[in-house]
Amino acid sequence: MEKSTKEERLALTQMAQNKIEQKTRAATERVAMGLDRFTKKMLSENQYMHQEVVFFQYSLLIIINSPFFLFIYKIYMREQELVELEQHVRALEQVNLDINEKLNAAHIADATTFT
């Protein structure tokens, strides 16, 4: 009787082992299918993003070469030149003020000396 109980336990253990292996295989297959779907989805999204980037680059190229953009760019460059010229004029005005102060001081010194 002891032997049959041992055999029954072995049979039950083997059945449990088989069930575990079966469930493990099924889970592995599900994960593999999920990864396959995920990979396909990522490839699809990657392809879509690539198309969007190509479209954006093409659109940017068209915009940059358009007469309107070139006109706006020329206006921007002129504005930059004006800003630089204004800064240069302000610096020259400051130099002029400094020279005038020195000349006035020298004139006052001369007038005081000769009086």
What number of residues does the chain have?
Answer: 115
Q: In whole angstroms, give the CA distance from residue 10 to residue 2.
A: 12
Tokens of 42: 């990522």
Q: In whole angstroms, give the CA distance from residue 90 to residue 96.
A: 10
Rounded alpha-carbon distances, angstroms, from residue 104 to 75, 93, 97, 99, 100: 43, 16, 10, 9, 6
Q: What is the pLDDT of residues 75-109, one digit of tens each?
A: 999 999 999 999 999 999 999 999 999 999 888 88
Does the pTM surpass 0.75? The reply is no
Task: Please name the helix (run of DSSP H) or strand (run of DSSP E) that holds residue 115, with its range, or none.
Answer: none
Q: What is the pLDDT of residues 3-56, one digit of tens each?
A: 668 788 888 888 888 888 888 888 888 887 887 888 888 888 888 888 888 888
